[in-house]
Chains A and B, each alone.
Chain A
């Protein structure tokens, strides 16, 4: 390399310094822009691993009368992709935050139009009924679905035990309100506590189920521990989680989502491929684990069992 007299005003005489500076600026810009865009846009989900060690696969047991034959959603996915706004609005929030929920001690208030209003400990409540397995489809209003092996007891058994009075027409469910345990409740994304409801005849249907376990394990926090509803012919948001109160009422309860967006989330919320959500079609759904979509079935495939509950009801208006 030829040595030339130094002149700091001429850039080309310091080729190495110029190169280094430009290379640094180049790398810095790539990292800054790329990293910034990543920070703005990336929302990594919990990795969809296989089944966790220790999980029980209910594949071996014979199918019960209410089960579906669909392949079961892997435990890792069923517990990492959840809507549970009490923990946060992102699908990954519930799994991340569920540690803040303490499910023991836990009591459930049973009241309203019943002969025996009472507050009962969750373990006592559970001991009242023989626990059974149910493999249910779960269809979210957002257009995705899972197949969930619940463990629990029929809601009808609990309601009969509450001894409804003749005035009881509806069942109102209330979820826990405790911003210390539910960080999502510190904002006002929804009107807390979360409230859901069923007509009494819907609640007494043998498919309506109270779950305390999932896939042979105690129900995880993100899936609604320690007690949640599972009404498989309705969109998922009807199946309220972390229930602390069950009240029989004379009037139709005001439910959280139907108050938040009455044009989008009705009281009935029966899975119905013929009635679109205002922002998307409900005709198809993605089963979690699939890349493509499948056709959504009326009443989520439970039409034979439940369609008679709605004869004479216009399901376009009563969506």
Chain B
């Protein structure tokens, strides 16, 4: 493979982290200059929500991209993108908490009573174990099969995130629809790829054997 003689793309990881977090700096700058408009809290809430979905979709796209092209670099940035998505989700939730004046009762009411909030909160909760098992040793400790199964939750989280966006929009569902289609398309690609791989190696347990030559798939 060509990649073997290339330098190890040392710049890629830091570039993805800095690029992925650049919007935080812009958001802070916008907040300072008043560019967030007359309702800055609401605007920041919306922007961090969209950023969560965008980075989550990018991280979901890494494995299909690697499989379809044979490039190895997407696998190297998948974790970073996933963690950035989680960070945006936390930021989004933090701004929501601030917006509610950190009154637990209101938040609890929202989560229990309003499907719109339940979906968003559910997505965040699902992302939490994925973020906690993103450390180097986690795959080894959990076992590859269990780690992989756990990290499939990301699709459920993405689906709930899209639903949350969909319900949050009053009119014109174009943007949530785009994210819904992207997540659905990525899921379909994954299912098709898994089927094709499954045709050659039918039992799911044997996927472990193949892992020595390819990084774990989420």
B183 to chain A, nearest CB (A): 15
- Of the stretches B43-51, B134-142, B154-162, B207-215, the one at the interface is B43-51
A253 to chain B, nearest CB (A): 21
Contact B51 A41 (CB under 8 A): yes
B21 and chain A: residue at smallest CB distance: A34
B18 and chain A: residue at smallest CB distance: A30
Contact A293 B99 (CB under 8 A): yes
Contact A292 B37 (CB under 8 A): no
- Of the stretches B106-114, B125-133, B188-196, B198-206, the one at the interface is B106-114
14 new A-B contacts at CB < 8 Å, known A29-B11, A91-B38, A281-B106? A25-B12, A45-B35, A45-B36, A77-B38, A81-B37, A144-B42, A187-B172, A190-B171, A279-B116, A280-B116, A281-B109, A284-B106, A293-B100, A293-B101
B50 to chain A, nearest CB (A): 4
Contact A46 B37 (CB under 8 A): yes
Q: Assess A32 versus B38: contact at CB under 8 Å? Given A37-B54, A43-B47, A280-B114.
A: no
A81 and chain B: residue at smallest CB distance: B38
Taking residues whose C-beta sits less than 8 angstroms from the other chain, chain A's interface range is 35 or more
Contact B15 A29 (CB under 8 A): yes
Contact A289 B38 (CB under 8 A): yes
Q: Is B16 an interface residue (CB 8 A)?
A: yes
Contact B18 A34 (CB under 8 A): yes
Partner of A29, one of B16, B35, B42: B16
Contact B101 A292 (CB under 8 A): yes
Contact A291 B41 (CB under 8 A): yes
Contacts of A222 in B (CB 8 A): none
Q: Assess A47 versus B109: contact at CB under 8 Å? Given A37-B20, A85-B171, A187-B172.
A: no
Partner of B20, one of A34, A77, A276: A34
Contact B50 A91 (CB under 8 A): no
Q: Is B55 an interface residue (CB 8 A)?
A: yes
A-B contact pairs, 18 of them (CB 8 A): A23-B11, A33-B15, A34-B22, A34-B23, A37-B51, A38-B22, A40-B51, A40-B54, A41-B47, A41-B50, A43-B47, A91-B38, A260-B171, A280-B116, A284-B106, A291-B40, A293-B99, A293-B101
Contact A80 B38 (CB under 8 A): yes
Q: Is A286 an interface residue (CB 8 A)?
A: yes
B55 and chain A: residue at smallest CB distance: A37
A11 and chain B: residue at smallest CB distance: B7
Q: Is B1 an interface residue (CB 8 A)?
A: no
Partner of B168, one of A11, A34, A279, A283: A279
Contact B23 A288 (CB under 8 A): no
Contacts of B69 in A (CB 8 A): none
Q: Is A51 an interface residue (CB 8 A)?
A: no
Enumerate B38-84 residues with CB–CB distance to A below 8 Å.
38-43, 46-48, 50-51, 54-55
Contacts of A91 in B (CB 8 A): 37-39
A12 and chain B: residue at smallest CB distance: B7
Tell me which of B6, B19, B116, B171 has the highest count of chain A C-beta atoms within 10 A of its own C-beta.
B19
B35 and chain A: residue at smallest CB distance: A44
Contacts of B33 in A (CB 8 A): 47
Q: Is A48 an interface residue (CB 8 A)?
A: yes
A290 to chain B, nearest CB (A): 9
Contacts of A48 in B (CB 8 A): 34, 37-38, 40
Q: Is A89 an interface residue (CB 8 A)?
A: yes
Contact B15 A288 (CB under 8 A): no
Q: Is A165 an interface residue (CB 8 A)?
A: no
Contact B19 A38 (CB under 8 A): no
Contacts of A279 in B (CB 8 A): 114, 116-117, 167-168
A212 to chain B, nearest CB (A): 23
Q: Is A305 an interface residue (CB 8 A)?
A: no
Contact B41 A47 (CB under 8 A): no
How distant is the Cα of A260 from the Cα of B172 in the complex, in angstroms?
12
Contact A37 B22 (CB under 8 A): yes
Partner of A38, one of B15, B23, B168: B23
How distant is the Cα of A206 from the Cα of B150 in the complex, in angstroms?
63
Contacts of B26 in A (CB 8 A): 38, 42
How distant is the Cα of A189 from the Cα of B171 in the complex, in angstroms?
6
How distant is the Cα of A30 from the Cα of B26 in the complex, in angstroms?
14
Contact A25 B167 (CB under 8 A): no
Contacts of B12 in A (CB 8 A): 25-26, 29
Contact A42 B47 (CB under 8 A): yes
Q: Is A31 an interface residue (CB 8 A)?
A: yes
How distant is the Cα of A22 from the Cα of B9 in the complex, in angstroms?
8
Per-residue CB contact flags for chain A residues 74-113 toward chain B (1 = under 8 Å, else 0) read 0001001100010001011000000000000000000000
Contacts of A31 in B (CB 8 A): 19
Tell me which of A18, A34, A283 has the highest count of chain B C-beta atoms within 10 A of its own C-beta.
A34
Q: Is B10 an interface residue (CB 8 A)?
A: yes
A29 and chain B: residue at smallest CB distance: B15
